Copies of this chain bind each other. A is one copy, B any other.
Amino acid sequence: MAEILDGRKISKEIRGELKEKVEKLEALGITPTLVGILVGEDPGSASYIRLKEKGCEQVGICPVMLRLPQDTTEEKVLGEIQKLNEDPDMSGIFIQLPLPDHINETNVLNAVRPEKDVDGFHPLNVGRSWLGQEAFLPATPIGIYEMLTRSGYGVKGKEVVIVNVDSLVGKPLASILVKEGANVTFCQPSSPQIEDYTKRADILVVSVNSPKFITADMIKDGAVVIDFGFNYIDGKSLGDVDFDAVKEKAGAITPVPGGVGPMTVTMLLANTVKACEMAHG
């Protein structure tokens, strides 16, 4: 029976540490501030924004949510970002995705000053991370890395298989783990004999958004299984792993909900505090 990696508990622990850091900054008269830009009325985005606001309040970060109407022009959004880039009171900036179709996402993401890019989406942060330089990394991969190391699962020398090759999870996670000495495989989710890859993993990370994609026969005995899948079926949240069966064989496993999910907002808060600390030298 696997150890259950409790994202809510680890997240709470990290938020406690962040709160202490924010109090130290406050004592110097500095308030870390996180600005979110939301364009339009996407209902999913609205609820994410609320989670981020709530997280900010919990640790003492000042949340500033800029809500722009659906028909805002790209030029106007870029102008707002420019002002926020220049404003020394704004520690971190994130753009709540998706943006309306008439706005070019790459243009907008690249306009955020890399030193305030707490989502780690700017190519300069992506490049710095692969070059082993100081950089902001996206919340999900750093959240996964924190869960592993805080639970005592070191990655050095381990065989890690990542079933995901996207820019938000798989690639930035690989950049962290390779630097930390792991042997890391990018496995294309469309691979025909995917179990040949998943069975080798000491640490298996999956994010394909397909329920029960990973079954017990696809993992190695005692593997650490990190599930960042998100599926909403019959009113229930499910990951990509057949949790009940896999937990009998794995050494450790993240549940869905309550695994990686709660870590992502927390790591955005952590990046914001880091941006604030760096800006104040």
Contact = CB atoms under 8 A, between A and B. Distances in A.
SS class of chain A's interface: helix, strand, loop or mixed?
Answer: mixed
Given A123-B133, A171-B178, A186 B183 contact: yes
Contacts of A98: none
Given A132-B167, A184-B186, A186-B184, A157 B191 contact: yes
Interface residues of A, number: 30
Interface of A: 106, 122-128, 130-133, 157, 165, 167, 171, 174-175, 178, 181-188, 191-192, 197
List the number of copies, as a whole number.
Answer: 2
A132 B181 CA distance: 25
A183 B197 contact: yes
A201 B191 CA distance: 15
A192 B157 CA distance: 9
Contacts of A126: 126-128, 130-131
13 contacts: A123-B130, A126-B126, A126-B128, A126-B130, A132-B167, A157-B192, A174-B174, A178-B186, A178-B188, A181-B188, A183-B186, A183-B191, A184-B185
